[in-house]
A and B are shown apart, each in its own frame.
Chain A
Amino acid sequence: MTPPAPADDVLLDISDLHVSIPQRKGVATPLRGVDLTVRAGRMLGVVGESGSGKTMTALAVMGLLPGNGHVSSGSIRFDGVDLTAVSGRESRRRRGTEIGMIFQDPMTSLNPTMTIGAQVSEGAMIHEGLSRRDARTRAVDILRRVGMPRADRIVDDFPHQLSGGMRQRAMIAMALVNHPQLLIADEPTTALDVTTQRQILDLIEDIQDEFGSATILVTHDLGVVAGRADEVAVMYAGRVVESAPAQELFRDPAHQYTRALLAALPERARQGDDRLFAIPGMPPDLRSETTGCPFAPRCHAAQEDCRSGPVPVITRGDRHEVACLHPGDLAEAGHDLDDVRTPETPVGGRGHSAATDAGEAPGTVLDVAGLTKEYPALGGSFIRRTVGTVSAVSDVSFSVREGETFGLVGESGCGKSTLGRLIALLENPTRGELRLNDEDVTVVTGRRESRAAHREVQMMFQDSSAAMDPRMRIDEVLSEPLVIQRIGTKDSRSERAEELVADVGLADDVLERYPHEFSGGQVQRIGLARSLALGPRLVVCDEPVSALDVSVQAQVLNLMKDVQAEHGLAYVFISHDLSVVRHMADRIGVMYLGMMVEQGPADVVSETPRHPYTRVLIDAVPTVDREDERDRLLVEGELPNATDPPSGCRFRTRCPFAQEICATTPPVHEFGEEGDSHSVACHFPLPADGSLPVRAEASA
């Protein structure tokens, strides 16, 4: 963090900002009185869920409101000048030279047909009148400063030739090219993998020090701002509901929304607690007017005055401002939420623990041995033919017991989704064995047998609405599995559909609606309901909550746990988010480039990872609580191409401990001394005490 700057050096001061966007039906008002200040050289984290107005605030500062959106009242004072009052030309000049912005998705935010150099230097050419040659020199220079490898060559490349992380570096270079006083980063790492995210966040922090610019870091992820931002503002329904110095906010969150949000984080779930604190309901519609506190309808502490009265901003201590009539106390430190958090005991009791309690070992639902999936890499000119293979899943073995959750975690391209599809019988493996309930389903051939096998395993998708025929009503969607499996009559199927929606906590009337009419959380519930229709023993959940906001995510995760307990289901839970997996899973498997590098009990793997990659993954996850000050293991670079994976251990190209043997011999899974089920595929596993060995310098 930066050393304290003069306290009153306010660079940006947003005051009572209202933005409205006329739409076909009514007027949306995404900002409803935003107050924010950014001090020179400091980093402000703006945190909120989707629809909170965080991105809109950033766009308002840039003067880039979408469509015919406009500032309806309030002011944005930048360096003393009200940006809402300046002319278009002046606004453009400031945008280009004094404020730089980094957008979320670096692939789509770069012009695909312009070279990186041309795009980076375009701002300098326009605003400083640099010649083409000088602009290029400037581009190379700035690209170097954002850590772009081989900057002098990359400058002539096009965006599609770069990896995601490098594209984001180019975006950052572009925003910095005229040395702005303020840098706005809108979800700069949301589209990136966690190890790359770590690199980019570190870069943004370094840049702030080096360039002395102020930074607004807009994100939905509380962990991203924790430990980086100097101050944090929490937004909800178009307002800033709480702002405070970062440490204070995380230590003493006052607004009930902030407190609920923190409590909903999977990493905040208490050990052994099955349920997360879930905020009921959804944020208000931005087209409707609200009176009183916009969070009141979802707040467990709301009183009558919250719903009716004005909500004044109160100051707590130094620069800690809260717009809440009944803020939580530091003394309670969040424990008041425990009562609210008490599990609703599910109807059927706890399925999986029931089996364990009975003393008999639970049966194995899924047994995977040496599972491999290779896709042909197409090439050739006249006729497309196979010129090689992409190794998506390579020699993976693990098993899942009845009622258990097996978490699969890894970065994009690691093969976890392909593995999920293999298990869900959506694709045929190239090699290996897949046993469901002790039956080898890889040898199933007949139409009837194959159909029967599908009853045992079902799938829940990341975007369930895309996984439902948009022209089918929900009752049709829910009875489709039964129709396919020729189970029951028309009446019994619709009865079953009613049961299913009740199981996932929805009302009957959803049956008559279409998938696109539901919010993300609701549609995931329906997706879960559908996966239960055939009464499978195993459900493969592919990133089931990745598209959801934290508060809704908690609802869905809780529901999944309830349903699991009620039906004695086993889950294969696939996610890139380690904290979610850790919360949900009994055991975890970590994948890298198609290989399972480590697996074992969830707490063991996440507390004392043995594979360097697992350690890297865990250390890269931004978390709210950073008490553990152990050394962090970081890596450079990004995932190599799966068409031509590295020989031996596939992680060796990025591993700080790699030796010669790693390149020659693929490591096999070895079980650690401390437990029966913790295994790691590494020639040089990390010590079990959580320390890091002295880095072995590359000897070869």
Chain B
Amino acid sequence: MWQYILRRTGQAMVVIILVTFLTFLLLHNLPGGAARSALGLDATPAQIDAYNEQMGYDKPFLIQYMMYLGRLASGDLGFSFQQNQPVADLIVQRLPKTMLLSFLAAFVALVVSIPLGAIQAVTRGKVPDYFVTAVALFAYATPLFFLGMLLIVLFSQTTSLLPPQAPQGFGLGEILADWPGLILPVATLAIATLAAYTRYVRSSMIDNLQENYIRTAKAKGLSGGRVVVRHALRNSLFPVISLLGMYIPALFSGALVVEQLFNYPGMGLMFWQATQTRDFPILLATTTIVALATVIGSLLADFAYAVADPRVRLSGDS
């Protein structure tokens, strides 16, 4: 297992270097150069020179990249002149809210998709299977913002059951206190993720149900429920842990849309607002942070998988 974990960590480090290199390249090729995009169009040449010297942009390319890495490592994500704040501070405010939204959505999607996928696998080729497949396909084919809008129409406009806007609080506590406002955003994001999770649980479960050990379990005289739950479902869930890691980018992408739609004050909304004002320090830093969060998240998911599945946990380390 340690071998696996170390190798995955190694891979993740290579990926992080590549990601930061990519964002650095983007920064370098911003219209008008990094300085102008940071300082704005009305910056004087002197200001630009001073900025370039301060950031080391007059140095050779590789040194610049090293300095960029150094700044990232020390938590310096740049300065938004439009917001007049360090970007790191903005992200520290916003990231937890986006994480909360994504976590809740992933959790809800998981809780719903595991039994759904299991039911589909057990009733494979029959009505419940086709029904869930159809619903999941519809959920997948519907653009997220249209889905969210339909939910708003249904639950707030027509019936006024739920607020159409996300909680606006500053801290996580305030947001959680206003929990009814979270229901629609979380539901929208969860439904979008549900289709993929369910499909995966279903096929993983179908594979496991065809395994010989299921027949062995039946031969012991176990009840059908115990065979399905203790043997087939349990084994089908190990790969789902990795799947959670694989779907982190999709969750963040979804959060971007959902936050905009429900006006939820997370990182996605900040990112969207920054595209409107072309606030490049925020755009680049957010992209970098989101990518790092993805890499680390999927790494953690793979670790969890390695610890959970005895086939990996007890694999030989030479």
**A contact residues vs B (CB 8 Å cutoff):** 62, 64, 92-97, 100-101, 103, 105, 108-114, 119, 122-123, 126-127, 158, 160-161, 171, 174-175, 377, 379-384, 387-388, 643
Shortest beta-carbon distance from A182 to chain B in Å: 12
Q: Is B42 an interface residue (CB 8 A)?
A: no
Q: List 25 A-B contacts (CB under 8 A).
A: A64-B218, A64-B219, A92-B221, A92-B223, A93-B221, A95-B218, A101-B219, A103-B216, A108-B212, A109-B215, A113-B238, A119-B216, A122-B220, A126-B222, A127-B221, A158-B310, A158-B311, A160-B311, A161-B314, A379-B317, A381-B2, A381-B6, A381-B7, A382-B6, A384-B7
- Chain A residues near B314 (CB-CB < 8 A): 158, 160-161
- Chain A residues near B219 (CB-CB < 8 A): 62, 64, 95, 100-101, 103, 175
Shortest beta-carbon distance from B252 to chain A in Å: 28
Q: Is B318 an interface residue (CB 8 A)?
A: yes
Bound-state CA distance A95–B223 (Å) is: 11
- Chain A residues near B6 (CB-CB < 8 A): 381-382
In contact, A108 and B310 (Cβ under 8 angstroms): no
Within 8 A of A (CB), among B286-318: 309-311, 314-315, 317-318
- Chain B residues near A643 (CB-CB < 8 A): 318
**A96 contacts which of B2, B213, B220 (Cβ < 8 Å)?**
B220
Bound-state CA distance A386–B234 (Å) is: 36
In contact, B7 and A122 (Cβ under 8 angstroms): no
- Per-residue 0/1 for B1-43: is the Cβ within 8 Å of any A Cβ (1 yes, 0 no)? 0110011011000000000000000000000000000000000
In contact, A377 and B318 (Cβ under 8 angstroms): yes
- Chain B residues near A97 (CB-CB < 8 A): 221
**B220 contacts which of A126, A380, A381 (Cβ < 8 Å)?**
A126
- Chain A residues near B311 (CB-CB < 8 A): 112-113, 158, 160
Bound-state CA distance A388–B212 (Å) is: 35
A379 and B10 contact, Cβ closer than 8 Å, known pairs A64-B215, A103-B212: no
Which chain B residue has the least Cβ–Cβ distance from A641? B316
- Chain A residues near B226 (CB-CB < 8 A): 126
Bound-state CA distance A64–B218 (Å) is: 7
Q: Which 8 A-B pairs have the closest CB atoms?
A: A96-B221, A381-B6, A382-B10, A95-B221, A123-B220, A108-B212, A92-B221, A379-B318
In contact, B221 and A174 (Cβ under 8 angstroms): no
Bound-state CA distance A105–B212 (Å) is: 8
**A112 contacts which of B3, B213, B318 (Cβ < 8 Å)?**
B213
Bound-state CA distance A377–B3 (Å) is: 14
A379 and B3 contact, Cβ closer than 8 Å, known pairs A95-B221, A112-B235: yes
- Chain B residues near A175 (CB-CB < 8 A): 219
Q: Is B278 an interface residue (CB 8 A)?
A: no
Main secondary structure of the interface of A (DSSP, over half): mixed
Within 8 A of A (CB), among B185-214: 211-213
Bound-state CA distance A110–B235 (Å) is: 12
In contact, A110 and B213 (Cβ under 8 angstroms): yes
Looking at B218, B221, B222, the one whose CB has the most chain A CB atoms below 10 A away is: B221
- Chain B residues near A100 (CB-CB < 8 A): 219
In contact, A94 and B7 (Cβ under 8 angstroms): no
Bound-state CA distance A161–B311 (Å) is: 9
In contact, A108 and B213 (Cβ under 8 angstroms): yes
- Chain A residues near B235 (CB-CB < 8 A): 111-113
In contact, B213 and A109 (Cβ under 8 angstroms): yes
Q: Is B139 an interface residue (CB 8 A)?
A: no
In contact, B216 and A96 (Cβ under 8 angstroms): no
Which chain A residue has the least Cβ–Cβ distance from B219? A101
Q: Is B172 an interface residue (CB 8 A)?
A: no
Bound-state CA distance A62–B219 (Å) is: 7
- Chain B residues near A96 (CB-CB < 8 A): 220-222
Shortest beta-carbon distance from B167 to chain A in Å: 41
Bound-state CA distance A108–B214 (Å) is: 9
Known: A111-B217, A126-B222, A381-B6. 13 other contacts (CB 8 A): A94-B221, A103-B215, A108-B213, A111-B213, A113-B235, A113-B309, A113-B310, A122-B217, A123-B220, A126-B223, A160-B311, A382-B6, A382-B9
Bound-state CA distance A392–B166 (Å) is: 64
Shortest beta-carbon distance from B208 to chain A in Å: 10
Looking at B2, B216, B226, B318, the one whose CB has the most chain A CB atoms below 10 A away is: B216
A113 and B234 contact, Cβ closer than 8 Å, known pairs A381-B3, A382-B6: yes
- Chain B residues near A105 (CB-CB < 8 A): 212
Which chain B residue has the least Cβ–Cβ distance from A91? B221
Bound-state CA distance A108–B231 (Å) is: 13
**B10 contacts which of A101, A158, A160, A383 (Cβ < 8 Å)?**
A383
Shortest beta-carbon distance from B212 to chain A in Å: 4
Bound-state CA distance A174–B218 (Å) is: 12
Which chain B residue has the least Cβ–Cβ distance from A644? B318
Bound-state CA distance A383–B310 (Å) is: 24
- Chain B residues near A160 (CB-CB < 8 A): 310-311, 314-315
- Chain B residues near A379 (CB-CB < 8 A): 3, 317-318
- Per-residue 0/1 for B230-244: is the Cβ within 8 Å of any A Cβ (1 yes, 0 no)? 010011001000000
Which chain A residue has the least Cβ–Cβ distance from B7? A381
